[in-house]
Amino acid sequence: MDAHGIGSGAAPEDQLTGTLFSVNANQYSPMTFSSAYSKMRLWRNTSVASLLSGSMSTPYGLLGYEWDSDYADATRPPGEIDLSSTTLNVDQVRQDYGNNYGAGLATHSLVEFRDPTSHALVFGTGTVQFAWGLSNLHTDNTGVANPPNPPVQHTTVTKDVQQATMNALADMGVREAIAKDPGLRPGVNVAGGKVTHAAVAEGTGMEFTPVERVLELQAA
């Protein structure tokens, strides 16, 4: 991003994540999911997939104090696709390499691409608060746990974001990786709708199922 990095060997961030930092606004905003992207694989088994027209929004907070944009520049990964589009008026959008900011329009997108070297699937959320859609247990940008306002802490989670994240992980081959490498299995908390971590099951009062059984693998 910064011209001073040219020749240093440092790569622009969009080569790693697919997006470049653009917004430094201290505000809590929703993402917009529209019918234009509803047929993308990411949205299978979500309410977004059934959108025939128009759009829907997530709860407030997923676009927080820092987020990125998908710039069509020379360093954008080849074959990258957008999976959403949210355009907002913000009070601080980047004007140069990060020294100057001003009010204006900015567009956020979830993105996916294949790394040209490893061919790994990359899913870029481009926002520091995407995890707010996965759980109601989080902190705000001041580091205060479970901020009551804004937004109301128990209203940030959304099943569509949870399912989309699971879809992305599935497309990355997480199940196959766990099946091939037993060393990964202790880190699996939930699989196939079952709690596969003993401590999580005990803490939530839910039934524990070994991950080997869920994945139909031979028990260790």
Average pLDDT, the chain: 86
In this predicted structure, the answer to whether residue 165 has a pLDDT above a threshold of 60 is yes
CA dihedral 142, 146, 148, 149 (to 10 degrees): 40
> Which pLDDT tens digit goes with each residue over 71-100?
999 899 999 999 999 999 999 999 988 889
- The sign of the torsion formed by the CA atoms of 123, 107, 45, 60 equals positive
CA atoms 137, 143, 148, 150: torsion sign: negative
Confidence of residue 26 (pLDDT cuts 50, 70, 90): confident
**Torsion-angle region of 25 (φ positive above 0: left; ψ -120 to 50: alpha; else: beta):** beta
Confidence of residue 220 (pLDDT cuts 50, 70, 90): very low
Instruction: Please choose, from the candidates 87, 21, 27, the residue with its C-alpha nearest in 3D space to the C-alpha of residue 60.
Output: 27
143 or 82, which is more confident: 82
At 136 the pLDDT is: 80
